[in-house]
Structure 1
Amino acid sequence: MAVQTERIPARRRRPGDRLAVLGEREFLWFFIGYTTSLVGSSMAPVAVTFAVLDGSGSGGGGEGGGSGTDLGWVLAARILPVVLVLLAGGVIADRLGSRRVMLGSDVLRGLVQALFAGLLAAGHAPVWVMVALVAVWGIGEGLFMPAFGAIVPDLVRRKELVADANTLLGLSRSVSTVVGPAAAGLVTATNGPAAVLLVDAVTYGVGAFALARLRLPERVAADGGESLPGELRAGWSEFASRPWLWITTAQMGLFNLLVWAPFLVLGPLTAQRDLGGAPGWGLVMGVYGVGAVLGGLVMLGRVPARPLAVASVAALGWALPSGVLALGAPLPWVAAGALVAGVGSAVCGTLYSSTTQKWVPVELLGRVTSFGVLGSFALGPLGLAVAGPLGSRFGVDTLLMFGSVWQLAAGAVVLGIPAVRNRRWEEGSEN
């Protein structure tokens, strides 16, 4: 399918121009609301975890808290609905418009968190109730994600600023992963998990208010008379017709399965053994977040001529944290590896999102985004589930080193594929 899109020359703007996107009214409103809701969303998992483990909502005053199995059920109940509704969320976003879907998602999630907070405060939230509530929360997230990927091009009038918009939104995510959990720990310790979830509900309200104020261009929606399978086939056809898109999606899916999931599960075990336990691991993940912030700052105002080639090189940095852990390196080296990986994560996220938004037709962007997100993250839960048993069977260090070598090899292969390496920002092959 040919793409009718304005060709914007790749260039590096002056430092003073790199925040020009904040002068776009619609983007500024969205950025404020999204950033606020992100902080609340990054606080909530901490509260939910301790609500389960402390038995805060069981009416037992926190005595005889929940088990690891209980926590597993609650965490899975959030992830599974996201995967199940992603594709439908892409169709709905293309039919109704991204703003409407995101507004409805924020309202839904805000109400869920307010109800959750009330039940915890009253001591009437047994595990099965928590499972039900986080499942609805997950449905809201599954609807939000494809719509989010499709709305960004509509938020800026000057299309050369789309990459900067993605960079700033990525910066928001990075900052929230550092600020949110720390704030949640403080609030949970002093006021309990219910207070954190109430804060989260309020931040969703701020996000919904910002979305309600947006004035976006009218788009030709997908034909509502076509069946859901038909619309999904159209989205899949667009996704599959672009080798650079499905190749990088497959790479990201295998990365989450073979590299990142084992790192998240086995990394804390290694830290407990060699790096001083929770404080050491907290430092590593905090430095990763700092790296992501730095990477976002570096990308502001910069659009490389071959964005996917740059992204593929940056993705090689993800090999470092697993590799240095496997080699038994001391904490400063592990933190340095996490810093490089964090920078790479910001660069990859910005360039993948911006390239997709530039070259995929807007009327199909929600569905194409849903296929991309599904392909990238669907295998992640499997990786989390099997990392522990495989680490016990083959050795923690062996599994971490395998992930590191895999990332380097896969990155080299992807970088060698012309459809990825030669995908230009301003012109070139449409596929």
Structure 2
Amino acid sequence: MAVETKQGPARRRRLNSRLAVLGERDFGWFFVGYATSLVGSSMAPVAVAFAVLDGGGGGTELGWVMAARILPIVLVMLAGGVVADRLGSRRVMLVSDVLRCAVQGGFAVALATGHAPVWAMAALVAAWGLGEGVFMPALGALVPALVRRKDRLPDANALLGLARSVSTVAGPALAGVITAGYGPGAVLLIDAVTYGVGALALARIRVDRPAGTGGDGDGSVLADLREGWTEFRSRRWLWTTTVQMALFNLLVWAPFLVLGPLTAQRELGGARAWGLVLGVYGVGAVLGGVLMLGRRPGRPLAVATVATFGWALPSAALAAGAPLGWTVAAALVAGAGSAVCGALFESTMQSWVPAGVLARVTAFGGLGAFVLGPLGLAAAGPVADRVGVSAVLLFGAGWQLLAGVAVLSVREVRCRRWEVPAEPGPGVGAGAAR
């Protein structure tokens, strides 16, 4: 009994330590707003997919609409990184949330009034993607500025990943039910409201712009981009994992997003089944996020890469014609791997890349990861029409396994640790280690 009595307070102290970053005012406000907007964001893709399908579209039309969202992200991400390093991440993210609130509200009205042909849906999701394209690099640079104690940075990223994971549980499941009962327009209206909450939270926080070469506005945009590119390409571990993500989005995730709803509609039961698959993917991510709280594996990128092997399983389950239960189990494992990979990779990048160029380096990484996504989304339907849905999904699953092995063979990935050497790196001052 004495041992049990001592263990209880010890567990509470460990939990309080892992959640202590929430007590930091600016991070706490941001976490609440971001977590709220994430719920709406995770609901919206289900609504968009079934808005297209219910409107008479098929796999090809769905692919084009999804590509219309990703393409603007690719086009504006580098500019978003430059602007965030110059003006500050908070301002850029605030404008992005306001824009996306307006877009999703307009989308909901268009669906409610029956004025939403495929071209109009594509235009609206393109505007949505424009907001995301400037938000993403700014987010990568904002988080370290919100966390005053840098030893809490891994926990901050784990908590943000956990929020993303919880939203992928609640969002798709809610979206499936609401779409089935009230139509996709209701889901998009909820998404608009959550973006408004995110904007209000960003308006309350105050952060200093990190000192660095990109924040003073005295150089040209091209000079800022060249500096960011130099920092990005000098880190082999960074561009190697970026290439892996680019091909993952092209060959694995894009076909899964396009052909998954199509398969669910034909074989698994429609919107509710697809919402369940994505929701359980989120459950796995929640479990992975909880696992990462308070943990710092000695070789974070190696562990992150091993976690990506699980991403092959959902595509493999769909390709094999597995029943819904097996597909859901595959999504659970893949979701856990996603949370582990995301938390470790983000913390590693924020530790090894100097603050003054972090938004631009994040932008180059995000651009590389997304640049092939529109092609994958647009091509998945037509290619599946020629060779079959199962063939496309099975190829993606096999590719993911081979890619993980290839990335682990890179020493800079396999041996990367947390510690950053004190020596300055090329051109940006102390802390800019490779």
TM-score by length of 2: 0.85
Out of 95, 100, 107, which is 1:104 matched to? 95
Q: Give the letter aligned to residue 147 of structure 2.
A: V
Structure 1: how far apart are the matches of 2:232 and 2:198? 30
**Counterparts in 2 of 1:250 and 1:190: CA distance versus 1, 3 Å:** same
Structure 2: how far apart are the matches of 1:48 and 1:219? 37
Structure 1: how far apart are the matches of 2:259 and 2:120? 30
Are 2:349 and 1:345 aligned? no
Q: Count residues with an aligned counterpart.
A: 409
Are 2:232 and 1:249 aligned? no
Match of 1:18 in 2: 18
Deviation string, structure 1 residues 148-174 (Cα, Å, up to 9, x no partner)? 111010111111111111111112112
Structure 1: how far apart are the matches of 2:146 and 2:315? 38
**Counterparts in 2 of 1:241 and 1:172: CA distance versus 1, 3 Å:** same
The answer to whether the 8 Å contact 1:47/1:193 transfers is: yes
The answer to whether the 8 Å contact 2:146/2:207 transfers is: yes
Structure 2: how far apart are the matches of 1:129 and 1:315? 36
Match of 1:284 in 2: 277
Match of 2:75 in 1: 84
Q: Secondary structure at the match of 2:295?
A: coil
Are 2:361 and 1:368 aligned? yes
Match of 1:407 in 2: 400
**Counterparts in 2 of 1:210 and 1:226: CA distance versus 1, 3 Å:** same
Match of 1:163 in 2: 154
How far apart are residue 124 of structure 1 and its match? 5.3
Deviation string, structure 1 residues 50-71 (Cα, Å, up to 9, x no partner)? 55555xxxxxxxxxx4544765
Q: Give the letter aligned to residue 373 of structure 2.
A: G
Are 2:99 and 1:113 aligned? no
**Counterparts in 2 of 1:130 and 1:100: CA distance versus 1, 3 Å:** same
How far apart are residue 403 of structure 1 and its match? 2.4
Q: Give the letter aligned to residue 250 of structure 1.
A: V
Are 2:220 and 1:227 aligned? yes
> What pairs with 1:30-429 in structure 2 (closer than 5 Å)?
30-51=30-51, 65=55, 67-68=57-58, 74-121=65-112, 129-220=120-211, 221-268=214-261, 281-427=274-420
**Counterparts in 2 of 1:394 and 1:76: CA distance versus 1, 3 Å:** closer
Most deviating of 109-118 and 286-295: 109-118
How far apart are residue 296 of structure 1 and its match? 0.5
The answer to whether the 8 Å contact 1:268/1:278 transfers is: yes
Structure 1: how far apart are the matches of 2:120 and 2:28? 37
Structure 2: how far apart are the matches of 1:17 and 1:245? 30
Q: Give the letter aligned to residue 171 of structure 2.
A: G
Q: Percent identity?
A: 70
How far apart are residue 123 of structure 1 and its match? 5.2
How far apart are residue 273 of structure 1 and its match? 7.0
How far apart are residue 351 of structure 1 and its match? 0.8
The answer to whether the 8 Å contact 1:305/1:426 transfers is: no
Structure 1: how far apart are the matches of 2:145 and 2:125? 31
Deviation string, structure 1 residues 124-162 (Cα, Å, up to 9, x no partner)? 556555444333222111111110111010111111111
Deviation string, structure 1 residues 168-189 (Cα, Å, up to 9, x no partner)? 1112112222222333344445
How far apart are residue 191 of structure 1 and its match? 4.8
Structure 2: how far apart are the matches of 1:115 and 1:407? 38
How far apart are residue 80 of structure 1 and its match? 1.9
**Counterparts in 2 of 1:390 and 1:99: CA distance versus 1, 3 Å:** same
Match of 2:430 in 1: none
Unmatched segments (≥5 aa) in structure 2: 1-12, 424-432
Structure 1: how far apart are the matches of 2:120 and 2:363? 29
**Counterparts in 2 of 1:402 and 1:70: CA distance versus 1, 3 Å:** closer
TM-score by length of 1: 0.85
Alignment RMSD? 2.7
Match of 1:27 in 2: 27
Structure 1: how far apart are the matches of 2:268 and 2:123? 37
Q: Secondary structure at the match of 1:304?
A: coil
**Counterparts in 2 of 1:330 and 1:202: CA distance versus 1, 3 Å:** closer
